[in-house]
Structure 1
Amino acid sequence: MSEKIQPTAYPLRMPLPLREKLEESARKTKRSLNAEITARLEESFSHRTLDEVEVAKAAELDREIARLSMESSKYSRALDLLMTKAKAAAGTEDEDSFGPQILEVAEALGRTEREKFQAMMRREMLEN
């Protein structure tokens, strides 16, 4: 019978801003913090050429842009629906109930569009 060797835990101290960046990256790649750190460490030992690294980074940015585009479309549809409902409620007592919802969705849409724009700029910089 073969036994699985369980890796030993290693407490890692790091500056809070670095941890926050890693957590954000882990969230975007849908990995745990441990998996994100492990993947980044393994990548640092791979012997890839600069071209391979740039192609991988471009592919990662393309995936991020596609994800953000889908998220942006979702918020745009939600905003359109809320605006339609708000217009239909004009002159009724429900008229004011849509303002906070519209603001929340519009802010989420703005954040997503900014993130997408930044990713697109990073992607463009790779091409130049």
Structure 2
Amino acid sequence: MTDRHQISPYPIRMPAELRDQLEESARKGSRSLHAEIISRLTTSFSPRTLDEVEVAKADELDREIARLSMESSKHSRALDFLMSKAKAAAGTEDEDSFGPQILEVAEALGRIEREKFQAMMRREMLDN
């Protein structure tokens, strides 16, 4: 029998917003919700200096900025592709079919760029 079978389960109730945040963090870290909760609880008992906390926050923001930059680049390429398809379809019956797709990708790109800008501002505040 393994150690995990000897540990009794403990059901936990939490607000839906907190669970959503934990699930998103777990997904970004490529781990299960259980592993995310255990990691966060373990970390909460670790003594940390203020410098360590600031470095960890900076590292987390750097990873977030890198992820958002990649996502932004992907959406920019998709938008460019859709725009070229829309231009090629000009004057045909398919001309209007690209509008909703272009709008959807452009809105997603704007959201990502706002998130990236906010993360960059938070990162800059840590440096100052």
Q: TM-score scaled by structure 2?
A: 0.90
Output the aligned Cα RMSD.
1.4
Which runs of no fewer than 5 residues in structure 1 stay unpaired? none
* Letter matched to residue 77 of structure 2: R
Tell me which residue corresponds to 2:77: 77
**Counterpart for residue 22 of structure 2:** 22
**Number of residue pairs matched by the alignment:** 126
User: 3-state SS of the aligned residue for 2:3?
Assistant: coil
Name the CA distance, whole Å, in 2 between partners of 1:37 and 1:114: 28
Following superposition, the deviation at residue 74 of structure 1 comes to 0.6
Structure 1 window deviating more from structure 2 (31-40 vs 88-97): it is: 31-40
Equivalent in the alignment of 1:48:
48
Greater CA drift, 10-19 or 61-70: 10-19
Change (3 A) 1:58 1:67: same
Give the % identical residues.
79
Question: Offset at 1:120?
Answer: 1.1
How far the C-alpha of 1:46 sits from its partner, in A, is 1.2
Q: Structure 1: which 4+ aligned runs deviate by more than 6 Å?
A: none
Does 89-98 or 26-35 show the bigger shift? 26-35
Matched residue, 1:65: 65
* SS state at 2:12 partner: coil
Runs of 5+ in structure 2 lacking a partner?
A: none
The separation in 2 between residues aligned to 1:76 and 1:68, in whole angstroms, is 12
Structure 1 CA distance for aligned equivalents of residues 28 and 111 of structure 2: 15
